Chain A
């Protein structure tokens, strides 16, 4: 919940207050919960509403330039890893050096190494807020795309773009980790 809240507000302390306020609203409202959605969706909807309201207030004091980054466009993989469009053989395909190297993973392992968990947590924390919200709700919390669109009031297309960009950055962080492991 903290991770989701942190996507909307500017400080950890503020996110903690959002989570706390959410539980208070949940506790007060539990008797009136009608069971039209799952309890989990209902709690998260309250969280997102509180966090958004608070985030909007905070943003009024943050300079616009800090908010309006063009983080949602442009390539997600460094273009220098691909051959030029004019390449006589394989235009716009991976260069030998740019081609992703296989990772030494254990896909069956139920327990992820704590080192990797910490790294991925940090990578998620470093994502731009909107990407972080979507990645956390979809991939960490396990909501489906319909639920996330509803919670964040966005289109399926927008959600997919944000998820795509967020996942690509987390992958890039893992790639750096595994490259070091091999070296």
Chain B
């Protein structure tokens, strides 16, 4: 039964397998055990959801090079770019 199957793994070990689980890197047995555990355990379910939410927020951080660059650096780059361009 999935009830017993879910208790084959303890919460303290599950939290260390979350990334492997989300990456699809675990073998079939492990994956099934984890899924059964998540059906039974609110704490672990919340933990996995929170890791997913963390990844979602990370994916919304600004990443454009232009936003990364202080004005002075951008100015120097543009100057360098103009100098490099064949006339």
Contact = CB atoms under 8 A, between A and B. Distances in A.
B28 interface: no
A168 B70 CA distance: 30
A141 interface: yes
Contacts of A117: 57, 60-62
Of listed A77, A111, A112, A171, residue having the most chain B CB within 10 A: A171
Contacts of A24: 77, 80, 84
Given A28-B84, A93-B41, A160-B20, A140 B63 contact: yes
Contacts of A16: 69-70, 73
B32 interface: no
B-side interface mostly:
helix
B61 A99 contact: no
A163 B80 CA distance: 36
Given A99-B42, A139-B58, A2 B68 contact: yes
Contact of A141 (B19, B63, B84): B63
B58 A82 contact: no
Contact of A170 (B12, B15, B54): B54
A135 B59 CA distance: 10
A124 B61 CA distance: 10
A174 B65 contact: no
A118 B84 CA distance: 37
Contact of B55 (A99, A167, A175): A167
Contacts of B10: 82, 91-93
A1 B64 CA distance: 8
Nearest to A157: B25
A176 interface: no
A142 B61 CA distance: 11
Contacts of B27: none
Interface in B3-33: 10-13, 15-16, 18-20, 23, 25
B18 A164 contact: yes
A171 B60 CA distance: 15
B50 interface: yes
20 contacts: A2-B69, A23-B77, A23-B80, A27-B84, A28-B84, A76-B15, A79-B12, A82-B12, A93-B41, A100-B47, A102-B46, A117-B60, A120-B61, A124-B58, A139-B58, A140-B58, A163-B19, A170-B58, A174-B57, A175-B50
